[in-house]
Structure 1
Amino acid sequence: MPEPICVWDLKATLGEGPIWIAAEQALWFVDIKSHKVHRFHPESGETKSFDAPDQVTFLAPRAGGGFVAGLKSGLHHFHPETGFAYLGEIEPADLNNRPNDATVDAEGRLWFGTMHDGEETPTGALYRLGADGQPVQQDQGVCITNGPCVSPDGKTFYHTDTLEKVIWAYDLGADGELSNKRQFFRLEIDDAWPDGSVVDAEGYVWAALWGGHGAIRISPAGELVDRVTLPAINVTKPCFGGPDLKTLYFTTARKGLGDEQLAAYPLCGGVFALPVAVAGQPQYEVRLDLP
């Protein structure tokens, strides 16, 4: 497999949530702790950055334009030309939670998790955004939720409990309800935790490794089949992009690293690209009649 290359040495504090917008042939992602939204156009190398009013944790493209964005203060609509507009609260502020990772399924449903902002208590939960624009809780009791993603046939939903090092699988019903929760994969790598994930067109799960210098590929049967290494310690999430969806992009983070680690791995916080043989799934749009 080719070596991953750094395509934007951004030095993000907590780069996260990459998504590929085919109409623009561009990668969008966030830097949660720096309150930034970023856009990278690989063909031209053009980069753009936008300020967010708070910790911005995910972007999900919205049918009709713009994005649904997760911020610590709640859900917002984000458009590059007009900025952020508040849509509604997710959870009470006294929980000190914030959203984390998200995905959109083929039916246009937005899925996302919340997590304790101090990474200390299991107050996080998994949500699906209902047809009325209100979050519907699907699971709970997690400190750091991560990696929501869906199999190509739309029948299996995956969700990661980062601190427990477990990726869970569920049956996903046509009505958007989850059932039959079971352990799909447990990470047995020391000093590494499963972070964001994505499913390729063959149904294999790619999971980023926080602290693990890369990512792993897991078969639909839950077997570890491949591992890639990046010159960055904290890898946060993969995303398929490019004209043929055969480029894996990875966001990374500098958060939690000391001067010695950053000196040894100066590209931490950058965005990386890796050509792969199996394409990813397209990025779906949120199809809800939101304000």
Structure 2
Amino acid sequence: MRAGAEMAVTSVLPVAAILGEGPVWSDGRLWFVDIKAARVHCYSPDDGSSQRWDAPDQIGWVLPSVRGDMIAGIRTGLHRFDPVTGHFLLLHDPEPDLPGNRLNDAATDQAGRLWFGSMDDGETQMTGRLYRCDAGACRDTGLPPVVITNGPAITGDGQVLYHTDTLGKTIWRVPIGADGALGQPVRHIVIEDGAGYPDGSVIDAEGCLWVALFGGWGVRRYDPAGKLIRTVRFPVANVTKIAFGGDDLVTAYATTARKGLDRNALAAQPLAGNLFAFDPGVAGLPVMPAGI
């Protein structure tokens, strides 16, 4: 399919999220959050049912854990989340000296290491950093700080991390050493003016990178060389991240947001903030549980 070709997308869950984010397929269901409403959502495509839980503060993501529960990135730090009880337990605050920051996006690699970023909640200060949590120990990866970190996305072989500077409209390609240490970042993709801002990203089974565009009305697929090879248009402006789900990981689910849309924009985009699905034409990679 040529770059720019459209693919049908469908609203599958009308949640009208203020800032939907962090979709992940786990245990036969699609999990995601509404950051600003401080909620966790879970969607079961088999019967169309859904559940939701209130979080103690702004929540950027939830990911499965090897313990069978979930790890959540909340403004106050990493928490263990038990969907059975709805309880959140604080595990680690990586930035006790930065009360204006919150955790924003995360991913696990094939070794079960957790990679997560922070950002300035006011979206002005360059205080966002990327962290790695391995065997319970969390450390700053050493990448230069930015205002809003996004991604991160890790290739299936665990050798490359894609790190997004959202306001800088840049996605960096960073080598990962055997010990998890990061090498020298290389500018990989720059989003042109007028195309929105790069938000969450994910790798598919062919090693290509899918990038959601906040304010860009869609998602893009880039090959490993950074060439744009596919665009999927949405009926809403703010697309925040996709995840591959379903039995064979061949359905793409996308979170969206109402944040930043005025009354006229919301009237023109009645589906803004909903969870969407589309056929990406390629399978995704299974999500490994975080080893904490």
Name the TM tier (shorter chain). Answer: over 0.9
Residue 48 of structure 2 corresponds to residue 49 of structure 1 = no
Distance, in Å, in 2 between the alignment partners of 1:88 and 1:159 is 22
Listed as ranges, the matches of 1:172-211 within 5 Å are: 172-190=176-194, 192-211=196-215
- How far residue 189 of structure 1 moved from its aligned partner, in angstroms, is 4.1
Question: Residue 86 of structure 1 aligns with which residue?
Answer: 90
Alignment of 1:257-272 (within 5 A): 257-272=261-276
Q: Do the aligned partners of 1:236 and 1:250 also contact (CA within 8 Å) in 2?
A: yes
Structure 1 gaps of 5+ residues are none
Q: Deviations over 1:41-79 (max 9, x none)?
A: 001101000010100111111002111111111110001
2:130 paired residue number: 126
Corresponding residue of 1:244: 248
Q: Does 1:76 align with 2:79?
A: yes
2:40 to 26, 30, 37: 37
Q: Does 1:97 align with 2:101?
A: yes
Alignment partners' CA distance in 2, 1:137 and 1:178: 7
Kept in 1, the 8 Å contact 2:110–2:157? The answer is: no
SS for the counterpart of 2:276 is strand
Offset of residue 139 of structure 1: 1.5
SS in 2 for 1:12: coil
How far apart in 1 are the matches of 2:177 and 2:63? 21
Number of residues paired by the alignment? 286
Is contact 2:129-2:140 (8 Å) kept?
Answer: no
Shift of 1:94: 3.9
Measured against aligned partners, the alpha-carbon deviations of 1:86-142 in whole angstroms (never above 9, x if no partner) come to: 112110254410010100000000000000000011111000013233333331320
Partners of 2:259 and 2:275 in 1: CA distance: 15
Q: Distance in 2 between matches of 1:60 and 1:73?
A: 17
Would you say the 8 A contact 2:7–2:232 is kept in 1? no
Question: Which amino acid in the other structure matches residue 223 of structure 1?
Answer: K
Instruction: Write the mapping of 1:125-144 to structure 2, written as runs, cut at 5 A.
Output: 125-144=129-148
Question: Partner residue of 1:157?
Answer: 161
* Corresponding residue to 1:10 among 8, 12, 15: 15
Query: Residue deviations 1:150-199, cap 9 Å, x none?
Result: 11221111010000000000111111111021011001141500000000
Q: Do the aligned residues in 1 keep the contact of 2:170 with 2:190 (CA within 8 Å)?
A: yes
Whole-angstrom distance in 2 between the partners of 1:93 and 1:180: 27
Taking only the aligned residue pairs, the percentage that are identical comes to 47
Instruction: Letter of the 1:53 partner, please give it.
Output: P
* 1:274 corresponding residue in structure 2: 278
2:150 counterpart residue number: 146
Contact 2:134/2:291, CA 8 A, preserved across alignment: no
Counterpart-to-counterpart distance in 2, 1:191 and 1:122: 23
Residue 267 of structure 2 aligns to a residue in which SS? helix
Q: Aligned pair in 2 of structure 1 residues 66, 145: CA closer, same or farther (>3 Å)?
A: same
So what's the TM-score if we normalise by structure 2?
Answer: 0.95
Counterpart code for 1:7: V
The residue aligned with 1:62 is 65
> What do the CA deviations read for 1:8-67 (whole angstroms, capped 9, x no partner)?
11100000000001xx31000000000100000001101000010100111111002111
Distance across 2 between alignment mates of 1:135 and 1:54: 23
Q: CA RMSD in A?
A: 1.2
Structure 2: tracts of 5 or more residues without a match: 1-5
In structure 2, how many angstroms separate the alpha carbons of the residues matched to 1:257 and 1:8?
20
